[in-house]
Amino acid sequence: MELLSNVLRPEKLSDIIGQTHLIGEGKILSNMVKNKKIFSFILYGKPGTGKTSIANAIVKELGVMHRFLNATINNKKDFDIAIEEAKMNGELILIIDEIHRMNKDKQDLLLPYIESGLIILIGLTTSNPYHKINPAIRSRVQIFELKELSCEDIEIGIKRALTHLENIKIDDDTIHYIANLSSGDFRSALNLLEVAYYSTKEDKVVSIDLVKEINSKPVFFHDKNEDGHYDVLSAFQKSIRGSDVDASLHYLARLIEAGDLDSIYRRMSVIAYEDIGLANPSIGPKVMAAIHASELVGLPEARIPLGVVVTEMALSPKSNSAYLGIDAALSDIHAGNTGNVPNHIKTTSTTYKYPHDYKNDWVKQDYLPDNLKGKKYYNKKQNKYEDNINKLFNEMKGGNE
């Protein structure tokens, strides 16, 4: 018997659950299909957000020649065959799963055909393509991020699935419970529903108690009227920012118990530089080391390095001076406050003063464009590290101004 997740695989974009920023009236992907013109793009997002479903729905709705390959499983010969098919047909949509794992040989092989438009690439990945995809590929495609599905999105999908389960009896509270357990992964919700259905007695009643017998993972994230997943992440960051070590560990424990390591990693990396920053600059590398250790040992042991680094993050002094500084600089750029690079620091300059030729390796000269002279983006906060580096900076300047 075919799995429920396969039975429900969308035939057209309007069947897709969620992703309303890309799909729907007047939205990017829907407009491409409507206009029957697809350009190369990459979809990235967490498992169960609909990457493969969207790709399949597009090619089915358009009824075009396509081929599905996996960057890790399919070899160079498979890619050669896809190119020959494209040449014979005049065009081919090539869907590549796990595209972040595509090696250089395969990339070099495809690049000219993607560039010419003979091959239209739809790449699928759970990894951020800005970090994992070769720039040569990245520059030739559009990148669309798929959002994590909300509890409401998954409930809609579950209710659609019920029509394929004969005589099932399930109430709204149980549907909501299953949606909560899925943590944004629709495929996971469908699999749990299907297991529960075939685990029932003859009455086909799927209850919360039955679901708990199958999956005993606690539900922490979602409440019926709010997006609790992001509330927990928000509370996690704000507890560290507020230097409440006990609250920080509490919310970390909730995230760990739900197995949501990716969200923990991303949020800790942001906090290290946004909220702690120059008050304890060693925390960034420590966070990365804790992430690496967690990936190496996996759960449940991952809780140990994560607990250590989150404790230090909460106890660390805090500074957002660098974060505010870069945002202020970007605000000027967005407002058009740029100006020309001063002549004396251009690559062809003959009047540049080389700081290492001067006392304390510093010499007074202007670096900002003329219209931004004297502009201050960085404003020091009161903490030991910034006090020290600013003191050293002032000593370096001493006697040279």
Please provide the size of the chain in residues: 401
Among the three residues 123, 145, 167, which one is the final residue of a domain in this structure?
145
Q: Does residue 61 sit in the same domain as residue 180?
A: no
Q: Note the pLDDT of residue 101.
A: 86
Q: Using one digit for the tens of pLDDT, what is the confidence trace for 172-185?
A: 999 999 988 887 78
Q: Does residue 173 sit in the same domain as residue 199?
A: yes
Q: Does residue 232 sit in the same domain as residue 206?
A: no
State yes or no: pLDDT of 230 exceeds 90.
no
State yes or no: pLDDT of 223 exceeds 60.
no
What's the angle, vertex CA 153, arms to CA 144 and CA 173, rounded to 5?
155
Grade residue 224 by pLDDT with cuts at 50, 70 and 90. very low
Q: Which residues are 143's β-sheet partners?
A: 42
State yes or no: pLDDT of 225 exceeds 50.
no
Q: Does residue 13 sit in the same domain as residue 64?
A: yes
> What CATH number is attached to the domain comprising 67?
3.40.50.300
Amino acid symbol at 138: R
The torsion angle over the Cα atoms of residues 372, 373, 377 and 381, rounded to 10 degrees, is -160
Q: Which residues contact 1 (CB under 8 A, 6 or more apart)?
A: none
Q: Using one digit for the tens of pLDDT, what is the confidence trace for 297-334?
A: 988 899 999 999 999 999 999 999 999 999 999 998 98
Q: Note the pLDDT of residue 157.
A: 92
Grade residue 127 by pLDDT with cuts at 50, 70 and 90. confident
Q: Note the pLDDT of residue 344.
A: 93
State yes or no: pLDDT of 131 exceeds 80.
no
Q: 3-class SS at 84?
A: helix
> What CATH number is attached to the domain comprising 196?
1.10.8.60
Instruction: Starting at the earlier edge strand, list the strands of the sheet with 66-70.
Output: 66-70, 92-97, 119-125, 41-44, 142-145
In this structure, is residue 84 part of a structural domain?
yes
Mean model confidence pLDDT for the chain: 89
CA 356, CA 88: separation in Å to the nearest integer? 62
Q: Note the pLDDT of residue 257.
A: 82
Tokens of 287: 């966070």
In this structure, is residue 326 part of a structural domain?
no
Contact (Cβ atoms closer than 8 angstroms) between residue 10 and residue 56: yes
113 φ/ψ angles, rounded to the nearest 5 degrees? -80, -30
Q: Using one digit for the tens of pLDDT, what is the confidence trace for 18-46?
A: 999 999 999 999 999 999 999 999 999 88
Mean pLDDT confidence for 51-58: 94
State yes or no: pLDDT of 65 exceeds 50.
yes
In this structure, is residue 62 part of a structural domain?
yes
State yes or no: pLDDT of 107 exceeds 90.
no
Mean pLDDT confidence for 277-281: 94
Grade residue 150 by pLDDT with cuts at 50, 70 and 90. confident
Grade residue 217 by pLDDT with cuts at 50, 70 and 90. low
In this structure, is residue 223 part of a structural domain?
no
In this structure, is residue 257 part of a structural domain?
yes
Q: Does residue 8 sit in the same domain as residue 103?
A: yes
In this structure, is residue 38 part of a structural domain?
yes
The enclosing H or E element of 281 equals none
Q: Does residue 91 sit in the same domain as residue 210?
A: no
70 φ/ψ angles, rounded to the nearest 5 degrees? -115, 130
Q: Does residue 34 sit in the same domain as residue 140?
A: yes
What are the C-alpha distances in Å from 69 to residues 167, 239, 299? 38, 44, 31
Burial of 45 (0-12, 13-18, 19+ CB in 10 A): buried
pTM (2 d.p.): 0.59
Give the range of the structural domain holding residue 164, as residue numbers without chain letter.
151-214
Please indicate whether residue 235 or residue 9 has the higher confidence score (pLDDT): 235
Mean pLDDT confidence for 4-25: 88
Q: Does residue 338 sit in the same domain as residue 265?
A: no
Among the three residues 269, 288, 315, which one is the final residue of a domain in this structure?
315
In this structure, is residue 327 part of a structural domain?
no
What's the angle, vertex CA 294, arms to CA 274 and CA 71, rounded to 5?
95
Q: Does residue 117 sit in the same domain as residue 8?
A: yes
- Region of poorest pLDDT, from 100-104, 114-118, 206-210: 100-104
Burial of 44 (0-12, 13-18, 19+ CB in 10 A): buried
Tokens of 366: 């202007």
Contact (Cβ atoms closer than 8 angstroms) between residue 131 and residue 29: no
Q: Using one digit for the tens of pLDDT, what is the confidence trace for 233-260?
A: 889 999 999 999 999 999 999 888 877 7
CA 143, CA 139: separation in Å to the nearest integer? 10
Q: Note the pLDDT of residue 282.
A: 95
pLDDT > 90 fraction of the chain, expressed in percent and rounded: 60
Grade residue 352 by pLDDT with cuts at 50, 70 and 90. very high
273: nearest Cα among 324, 227, 236, 307 = 324
Q: Does residue 170 sit in the same domain as residue 204?
A: yes
CA 73, CA 101: separation in Å to the nearest integer? 10
Domain count for the chain, please give it: 4
Q: Does residue 28 sit in the same domain as residue 159?
A: no
233: nearest Cα among 217, 245, 220, 215 = 220
Among the three residues 111, 145, 179, which one is the final residue of a domain in this structure?
145
CA 145, CA 235: separation in Å to the nearest integer? 24
Instruction: Classify residue 65 as left (phi > 0), alpha (psi -120 to 50) or beta.
Output: beta
In this structure, is residue 324 part of a structural domain?
no
Q: Note the pLDDT of residue 400.
A: 55
Q: Does residue 53 sit in the same domain as residue 137?
A: yes
Mean pLDDT confidence for 70-87: 92
Q: Note the pLDDT of residue 229.
A: 65
Contact (Cβ atoms closer than 8 angstroms) between residue 371 and residue 340: no
Kindly report the number of other CB atoms within 10 A of residue 358's CB atom. 13
Contact (Cβ atoms closer than 8 angstroms) between residue 383 and residue 278: yes
> What CATH number is attached to the domain comprising 249?
1.20.272.10
- Region of poorest pLDDT, from 227-231, 265-269, 281-285, 368-372: 227-231
